[in-house]
Structure 1
Amino acid sequence: MSHIPILFEDGEALVINKPSGLPIERPRRGGASLEDHFEELKLGFQRAPMPVHRIDTDTSGCLLLARNAKALKRFAKAFEERLVEKRYLGVLSGVPADSEGTIELSLSKISSAEKGWRMIAAKKGKPSITHWRVLAEHGGHTLVEFRPETGRTHQIRVHCQAGLNLPLLGDPVYGNGKGAPRTMLHAAALTVPRTGKPPIDAAAPLPRDFAALGFADG
């Protein structure tokens, strides 16, 4: 069982650097998940920590875990009230026309027997906002910083595809799945404000598969 890097730790919170390919919840078909690491993540506590939010299985980087039920409730409320600052890095399968901007597209879930479920941009969907800026270009690909205001399912992935007309490299759902072994998205940093305490502040280094595409840490 591989060790999960810990980016932040105190009495009520952990932030881990989740590896890409590791689902947070056990897949229906079985297989490895973050649950396999709960014992090692107790770090002397009696209870296993609990994920406060979700990031996709393919997505690497910062994931906040609460070490008790009260903290879980407070942190979840901070996410709901959009108080949490999130910074993602992604690699686009092309070069956008602009160097920065804001994407505002409402998102809705659709499903079909053939393709399963996915999110689409739809006027009647839930409002979602993502700020973005280009950090670097290399080999026809672009390293982009994303700062989502909202936390919708697949938000950044759909905003790239529908808002920038350039899906994330390697995305098999909103792109062609080519160019990278996974969807190239990384939760690079997370800041969670706390009343009467310093904020939870964590940053995850750029993964090796980003470096393999020619990008240094942004």
Structure 2
Amino acid sequence: MTALPLLYCDDYLVAVHKPSGLLVHRTSLDAHETRFAMQMVRNQLRRRVYPVHRLDKGTSGVLLFALDADTGRQLSSLFEQRRIDKDYLAVVRGWPDVAGEIDHPLERRIDDAEAWGGPMPTGAQEAFTRYRRLATVELPWAIDRYPQSRYALVALKPETGRRHQLRRHLKHISHPIIGDATYGKGRHNRAFAEAFGVSRMLLACTALTLPHPVTGVPFTVRCPLADDFQRVIDALSWTIAAP
């Protein structure tokens, strides 16, 4: 892949569809990687871009960049003030409640700045996620102690932006994301990989809604599911209602 699909672009910001498996920017934690979304977008636009939020390497979906430093600071401030709504979809193990809230503080996890020698804060940070169950399925897979295995499609809205928040919160309620090698269940991950030919983490950022950093006019950037994610949805005969 030499270019990322553009979802939105104006004189101040650009949004692209980041595929699963691609880092946002260079990190000492994945020193062997040579491809980064930030560099790819810079090459596409032939101008400097400024990261304002992050998606995990395994997560696909809407990735936003600023096109100048002032806009970057404004967008970063909007994220910090929780004025940007973030919508995600995930496939999880088990059947969560129809709707719920996860209010569970998370210990600070090391990020790039800390890995490069910055101070390491201690203590837990508040973290809050809302979720809705959209669809369920029961498959004839005897993976755990039951003859069948249950899975669900969930819509997620993180109110805070902690590192790996959605992945850690879903593990906390015992419904880990399929394909998550760190917080998930290896046997379920392998079953999906074998059945559907998909070994990625089934988590995607499907929309960001925010006030434009210059005009103040609210707008939404939407992103379709990646083909590999959509293939799983189709195979399970799930339908996602249009927003």
Secondary structure of 1:212's counterpart equals helix
Q: What is the aligned partner in structure 1 of residue 203 from structure 2? A: 185
Q: What is the aligned partner in structure 1 of residue 84 from structure 2? A: 84
In the alignment, the residues of structure 2 paired with residue 16 and residue 29 of structure 1 have an alpha-carbon distance, to the nearest angstrom, of: 24
Deviation at 1:20, TM superposition (A): 0.7
2:33 to 14, 30, 35: 30
Between structure 1 and structure 2, the one with the greater Rg is 2
In the alignment, the residues of structure 2 paired with residue 110 and residue 5 of structure 1 have an alpha-carbon distance, to the nearest angstrom, of: 30
| Mapped contact 1:41–1:49 kept (Cα < 8 A) | no
In the alignment, the residues of structure 2 paired with residue 86 and residue 172 of structure 1 have an alpha-carbon distance, to the nearest angstrom, of: 23
In the alignment, the residues of structure 1 paired with residue 61 and residue 84 of structure 2 have an alpha-carbon distance, to the nearest angstrom, of: 15
In the alignment, the residues of structure 1 paired with residue 41 and residue 168 of structure 2 have an alpha-carbon distance, to the nearest angstrom, of: 31
Structure 1 regions of 5+ residues with no counterpart? 112-123
Q: What is the aligned partner in structure 2 of residue 176 from structure 1? A: 185
Is the counterpart of residue 165 in structure 1 residue 206 in structure 2?
no
Q: Can you list the C-alpha shifts for 1:110-161, whole angstroms capped at 9, x where unaligned?
A: 68xxxxxxxxxxxx41000000001111343211000110000000001100
**Structure showing the higher helix proportion among its residues:** 2
1:34-49 equivalences under 5 Å are 34-42=37-45, 47-49=47-49
In the alignment, the residues of structure 1 paired with residue 100 and residue 79 of structure 2 have an alpha-carbon distance, to the nearest angstrom, of: 23
Deviation at 1:94, TM superposition (A): 1.8
Task: Give 4+ residue runs of structure 1 displaced > 4 Å after superposition.
Answer: none
Q: Can you list the C-alpha shifts for 1:177-210, whole angstroms capped at 9, x where unaligned?
A: 4134122100000012136342342011122223
In the alignment, the residues of structure 1 paired with residue 75 and residue 109 of structure 2 have an alpha-carbon distance, to the nearest angstrom, of: 29
Q: What's the TM-score, normalizing by structure 2?
A: 0.77
Structure 2 regions of 5+ residues with no counterpart? 111-122, 140-149, 194-198
In the alignment, the residues of structure 1 paired with residue 37 and residue 133 of structure 2 have an alpha-carbon distance, to the nearest angstrom, of: 32
Alignment RMSD: 1.9
Secondary structure of 1:41's counterpart equals helix
| Mapped contact 1:205–1:217 kept (Cα < 8 A) | no
Count of residue pairs brought into register by the alignment: 201
Q: Which amino acid aligns with 1:196?
A: T
| Mapped contact 1:41–1:48 kept (Cα < 8 A) | no
| Mapped contact 2:133–2:154 kept (Cα < 8 A) | yes
In the alignment, the residues of structure 2 paired with residue 144 and residue 39 of structure 1 have an alpha-carbon distance, to the nearest angstrom, of: 33
Cα pair distance change 1:110/1:23, threshold 3 Å: closer
Q: What is the aligned partner in structure 1 of residue 59 from structure 2? A: 59
1:62-211 equivalences under 5 Å are 62-96=62-96, 98-109=97-108, 124-138=123-137, 139=139, 140-162=150-172, 164-177=173-186, 178=189, 179-180=192-193, 181-194=199-212, 196-211=215-230
Deviation at 1:166, TM superposition (A): 1.1
| Mapped contact 1:157–1:168 kept (Cα < 8 A) | yes
Q: What is the aligned partner in structure 1 of residue 145 from structure 2? A: none
| Mapped contact 2:108–2:125 kept (Cα < 8 A) | no
In the alignment, the residues of structure 2 paired with residue 41 and residue 129 of structure 1 have an alpha-carbon distance, to the nearest angstrom, of: 36
| Mapped contact 1:55–1:63 kept (Cα < 8 A) | yes
Cα pair distance change 1:172/1:95, threshold 3 Å: same
**Structure showing the higher strand proportion among its residues:** 1
Secondary structure of 1:38's counterpart equals helix
